[in-house]
Amino acid sequence: MLRSQALRVITDLIGDELVVSNLGDPSKELYHTRDRPENFYMLGSMGLASSISLGLALSQDRRVVCLDGDGSILMNMGSLSTIANLKPDNLILVTLDNGAYGTTGNQISYAAGLTDLVDVARACGFDHCLKADNTSELSEVFKGCLERRELSFIHATIVSDDNKLSAIPLDPIAIKNRFMDSIDP
């Protein structure tokens, strides 16, 4: 499934959930798929979408959906252990795995090698781990996660779209402020 298709499936199912998206192409694609104040677009820090999502999930009740990348999960793998041990029941961590550092030119990541990120998540303590290899599977597992309140890890196998995405025309401070306002108006 293309990343744009995966994001379309997820954004079509999302209601008032807070969404934190990985830097680079995933954030740009989310912006172009469905921009909303409840989206926090990570613009610079690779690996930190999961950590920011954890902080958000722990500090308020609304559900948080983190849209991360395999490269970022590999870069900040310790975050999986922290999240699993703190177990916020309002966090769904979706790893959009293209087996590559897509944003910087598709250099192969070790998620395409010997490292299985679902095994890693399980070993870190995630009990509810699901896989989705196509849009109908993703729709089913994401719906299932929304219906229950439990820390969840979804591994979605994707391929990046080839089309060049234009930059998000929002100032980082504006992204932060409107996101914060949408949580606590």
Ligand X SMILES: Cc1ncc(C[n+]2csc(CCOP(=O)(O)OP(=O)(O)O)c2C)c(N)n1
Q: Among 1, 20, 23, 156, which residue sits at the site for ligand X (rule: CB under 6 A)?
A: 23
Q: Is residue 67 part of the contact set for ligand X (CB under 6 A)? A: no
Residue 176, classified by CB atoms within 10 Å of its CB into exposed (0-12), middle (13-18) or buried (19+), is: middle
Cβ contacts of 111 within 8 Å, gap of 6 or more:
70, 71, 73, 74, 97, 99, 117
Q: Is residue 100 part of the contact set for ligand X (CB under 6 A)? A: yes
Q: Which stretch binds ligand X (CB under 6 A): 81-89, 98-106, 137-145, 164-172?
A: 98-106
Cα of 153 vs its chain's centroid, Å: 10
Q: Is residue 72 part of the contact set for ligand X (CB under 6 A)? A: yes
Q: Which stretch binds ligand X (CB under 6 A): 10-18, 34-42, 101-109, 165-173?
A: 101-109
The kind and range of the H/E element at 85 are helix 78-86
Q: Is residue 98 part of the contact set for ligand X (CB under 6 A)? A: yes
Strands (E) located in 13-164 = 18-21, 39-41, 64-69, 91-97, 100-101, 107-108, 128-132, 152-157
Q: Is residue 29 part of the contact set for ligand X (CB under 6 A)? A: no
Q: Is residue 7 part of the contact set for ligand X (CB under 6 A)? A: no
Q: Which stretch binds ligand X (CB under 6 A): 21-29, 122-130, 145-153, 175-183?
A: 21-29
Measured in degrees and rounded to the nearest 5, phi and psi for residue 122 equal -60, -45
DSSP class of residue 114? T
Of the pair 116, 181, the CB lying nearest ligand X is at 116
Of the pair 90, 165, the CB lying nearest ligand X is at 165
Q: Which stretch binds ligand X (CB under 6 A): 56-64, 100-108, 124-132, 148-156?
A: 100-108
> What whole-number distance in Å separates Cα of residue 158 and Cα of residue 61?
30
Q: Is residue 79 part of the contact set for ligand X (CB under 6 A)? A: no
Of the pair 61, 167, the CB lying nearest ligand X is at 167
Scan for tokens 């391929």, then name that residue: 159
Task: Give the footprint of ligand X on this chain (CB under 6 A).
Answer: 22-26, 44, 46, 69-72, 98, 100-104, 109
